Structure 1
Amino acid sequence: MGGLELKVTLGPVDVTATQALHVARHVADRIGAEHPHALDEDMPRLAGRLTGRDPDAADELRELLAALGLPTNARQLRAIKARAALEQAAANRKSKERT
């Protein structure tokens, strides 16, 4: 993927569901950058979906997400999205209580 390769073991890290979603999106964007598509400029969402159907890109994405302990299938993604929504609702309640 380029950039700096870290040779450090960080061990388990606790992250919120919202953070995990952000990381999963970033990873997907990076894999998409590794597999450019002709529609990237004009229709990026469609290009992303089509790139996701590329077996090589999909395998790379699943492998990296699994290594990071992030969702690798639709069921896991739905579960983490639901947890992120609960976290956001709790944060909104706390924000309203402070005002």
Structure 2
Amino acid sequence: MMEPHAVTADDIGEWLGEHHDIAVFLERLDTEALSSSDHATLTALARNRQEKLEKKAHTAATRLFAGSDRALLDRWGTWWQVWQAGR
């Protein structure tokens, strides 16, 4: 039962990692000798991708962590106990 949660958490981690990579790219982009139009194009593309990643991560995290902290812990705790009992 934890598999979908683990997959979602992994996806969120990948998306946030890519978001960070783009942030580093944008920082380094400022040090490159590019034309204004090339710099603007690359910046716009990178920021657009970051926005898409933010939306995906936010949507997935909202579903993953829906409800109260206590409810999430209780649900995962119950699943853990069921898994342990079936081993």
TM superposition score category, shorter chain reference: 0.3 to 0.5
Please report the TM-score for the alignment, with normalisation by the length of structure 1.
0.40
Which structure carries more helix by proportion? 2
Higher relative contact order (CA 8 A, sep 6+): 2
- Based on CA coordinates, which of the two structures has the bigger radius of gyration? 2
